[in-house]
Structure 1
Amino acid sequence: MKYGLLLLLSPLLLAACDDMNRQPRYDSYEKSTLFADGKALQAPPEGTIARDDPGEAAALAKRPAMTPELLKRGQERFGIYCAPCHDAGGYGNGIVPARGFPHPPSFHIDRLRNAPSRYFVDVITNGHGVMYSYADRISPSDRWAIAAYIRALQLSQNAVTSTLPPEDLGKLGAGS
């Protein structure tokens, strides 16, 4: 009985929730008391850029020179944006996949080791598979920095020992 009464009253309760159709609104160039300048139309916040901004496209097209600063910035950004899924070593065993999400590919597989750096920048920009785009979170210069850091990770895990200087070879021998 109570269930039937609730079922009959529910359309009346939902009809009472129509306040959203009668909200006050402003036209673009109308006067408004909401803001100090008295205008309804406000300028976008400082630093806002359009999605099709030619400056962003130019920044993506230009690969920066490899520097220690670029690698340090890439390591920092990788730790913030990439490590939760890809883990700090780039193997795809981060905390997010550990909680049931799909594992991303390891950066140390042949396919990604042989991919151009531009590939990583494009994946950060446009997303790939279940990874969504990070274009709204990561600036073009930081995308290149992350790609450079991924290259450093790949090199660190796949270095040929014959290319190491003698002092580094000695450190390897002392550790084993």
Structure 2
Amino acid sequence: MRIFLTIYVFAIIAAVSILGFRGSISTKPPLEVFPDMDRQARYKPQAENEFFADGRNDRSVPAGTVARGNYFNQVEVFSEDFEDTRLGDTAFNQGKNADGSLVKKIPVEVSYELIQQGKEKYDIFCSACHGAAGDGNGVTKPYGVLAASYHDARLRSVEDGHIFDVITNGKGLMLPFNDRISPEERWAIVLYVRALQLSQNANVEELTSVQRTELGF
């Protein structure tokens, strides 16, 4: 018993000598048993290295990156003489005018390439629920997840900004995609949705004679 008490006291004295009393203040570096990568090797911002051809640690933003934030903090980030037509454009970034009303028409130049981009993003993010034709017959329907049909009269008559706003912020069971799809890609999806709506609700009288012949009318 005496030997055990001696060893026990010695262990306490050794522990206190090495670790110090709890709550004591010391200017010495702490004893780290597990450093947890606190001092791991890393590149410092704005420093140099020989790995990249340009010798910089800072790298350019990869193409297609979706920016975090709301795009409207340029006043705090940039100098007063900085000019950019997109950062402060609420119609482009939010689908809303400066007074908060929804944008009626797509505020970007419409092109076939933009429709193709919209189809690509629609197939990735939207078709699972809304269906390839936009009629709500997606693969989730048999499981009780009912998505809206874009061919409803209500959605055919809404503003383009409304569809953009739903893609951005979500609605009901639909999650927001503002952190996954850039504003330009969202407008591309809106354009493709309008193309899907037109494909099911087009007026034959609006077609040219060549188009009618090709379609068998």
TM over 0.5: yes
Query: 2:54 corresponds to which residue?
Result: none
Matched pairs, number: 143
**Deviation per CA, 1:80-120, whole angstroms, max 9, x where unpaired?**
1111111110001111223x142111100000000111111
Query: 2:93 corresponds to which residue?
Result: 60
Query: 1:79 corresponds to which residue?
Result: 123
Gaps of 5+ in 1: 1-22, 27-31
Match of 1:115, as an amino acid? V
Trace 1:14-29 onto structure 2 (pairs within 5 A). Answer: none
TM-score, normalised with respect to structure 2:
0.58
Task: Give the direction of change, closer, same or farther, for the CA distance of 1:51–1:65 in structure 2 (3 Å limit).
Answer: same
Task: Give the stretch that moved more between structures: 48-57 or 159-168.
Answer: 48-57
Could you say what the CA RMSD is over the residues aligned between the two structures, in angstroms?
A: 2.7
Structure with max Cα Rg: 2
Query: 1:151 corresponds to which residue?
Result: 194
The DSSP-based 3-state class of the residue aligned with 1:103 is coil
Q: Is the 8 A contact 1:56 1:140 kept in 2?
A: no
Task: Give the direction of change, closer, same or farther, for the CA distance of 1:57–1:50 in structure 2 (3 Å limit).
Answer: farther
TM-score, normalised with respect to structure 1:
0.70
Q: Report the CA distance between 1:129 and its aligned residue.
A: 1.0
**Deviation per CA, 1:43-97, whole angstroms, max 9, x where unpaired?**
9994573323326663415821111111111111111111111111000111122
Of 131, 155, 175, which residue of structure 2 is paired with 1:132? 175
Q: Report the CA distance between 1:173 and its aligned residue.
A: 2.6
Distance 2:212 2:162 in 1: 32
- Larger helix fraction of residues: 1
